């Protein structure tokens, strides 16, 4: 009976996922956009990470203590950029993509314009939805987080991070768009580099921010569809022409 129950639950989850994907394809196929259905993951990252600890110490004007018996940290290594977990991994920027795909099983979608379909928006905070987007020869990390910035008032934060340096990120512009029931909402900005913390981007509010009532206006049966488009910035384009 236990085996049957587990198998039946897995089948129901698969049917639900296929149904969500079918609905998304039906809505967005006319625009020729690729659809990625993203299931939520409860964030396990709310133990202090090295990135958060260094940022907090810097803001307070306190440098981390130096222990002579500890190995010297390589400044070229960066912590895991996945916002879901307190992952102890460190590595060079060039291998971040392979780490995210192999260790955290994060999906990657290719195309100039895609649709990010986040399911189960009703789940309690903190919850994260995350995918990678391959476009224009670079990889981007899209993070949607449900978080209580004020107790009892959850909000949704969506941001795009370039898996590259800040100077490379300045060459691009990303657009997030919500469109449903004759309502349209757009957010356009320069992506931030993954060398910066996702947490700091969200705490600064430098991203698309939705309260629950606004998110419900654009959601469909608990799913939120976000159109994503990435282009090269006008400054970069003009420099290339010169």
Report pLDDT digits (tens) over 39-93: 887 765 544 444 444 344 334 443 333 333 333 445 568 888 776 667 888 888 8
In this structure, which topology does domain 31-40+78-232 adopt according to CATH? 2.60.210
- pLDDT given at position 57: 38
Residue 166: C-alpha distances to residues 3, 46, 147, 163, 221 (Å) = 50, 26, 26, 9, 38
Q: CA 117, CA 223: separation in Å to the nearest integer?
A: 7
10 Å Cβ neighbour count for 219? 19
Low-confidence ranges of the chain (pLDDT < 50): 4, 12, 14, 16-17, 19-21, 23-32, 46-73, 236-242
* Domain segments of the chain as ranges: 31-40+78-232
Q: CA 223, CA 148: separation in Å to the nearest integer?
A: 19
- Classify residue 242 by its DSSP letter: -
- pLDDT given at position 54: 39
Residue 193 contacts by C-beta under 8 Å, 6 or more apart in sequence? 161, 162, 164, 165, 166, 168, 169
- Torsion from C-alpha of 45, 46, 47, 51, nearest 10 degrees: 70
Note the helical H segments in the chain.
Answer: 2-28, 50-59, 96-102, 166-169, 198-204, 212-218, 234-241
Pair type for strands 219-220 and 223-232:
antiparallel
Note the helical H segments in 29-141.
Answer: 50-59, 96-102
> Which three-class secondary structure state does DSSP give residue 29?
helix
- pLDDT given at position 17: 46
Check: CB of residue 27 under 8 Å from CB of residue 225: yes
10 Å Cβ neighbour count for 198? 23
Q: CA 178, CA 71: separation in Å to the nearest integer?
A: 48
- pLDDT given at position 47: 42
């Amino acid at each position: 009976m236990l085996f049957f129950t587990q198998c039946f639950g897995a089948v129901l989850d698969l049917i639900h996922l296929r149904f969500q994907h079918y609905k998304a394809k039906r809505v967005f196929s006319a625009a020729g956009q690729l659809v990625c259905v993203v299931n939520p993951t409860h964030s396990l990252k709310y133990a202090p990470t090295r990135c958060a600890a260094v940022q907090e110490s810097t803001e307070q004007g306190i440098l981390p203590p130096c222990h002579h018996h500890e190995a010297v940290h390589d400044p070229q290594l960066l912590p895991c950029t996945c916002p879901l977990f307190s992952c102890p991994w460190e590595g060079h920027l060039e291998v971040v993509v392979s780490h995210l795909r192999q260790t955290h099983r994060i999906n990657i979608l290719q195309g100039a314009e895609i649709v990010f379909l986040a399911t189960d928006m009703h789940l309690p905070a903190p919850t994260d939805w995350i995918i990678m987007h391959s476009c224009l020869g670079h990889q981007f990390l899209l993070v949607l987080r449900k978080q209580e910035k004020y107790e009892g008032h959850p909000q949704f934060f969506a941001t795009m991070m370039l898996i590259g340096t800040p100077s490379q990120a300045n060459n691009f512009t990303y657009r997030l768009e919500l469109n449903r029931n004759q309502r349209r909402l757009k957010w356009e900005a320069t992506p931030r580099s993954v060398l910066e913390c996702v947490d700091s981007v969200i705490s600064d509010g430098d991203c698309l921010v939705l309260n629950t009532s606004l998110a419900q206006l654009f959601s469909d049966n608990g799913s939120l569809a976000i159109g994503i488009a990435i282009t090269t910035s006008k400054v970069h384009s003009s420099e290339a022409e010169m």
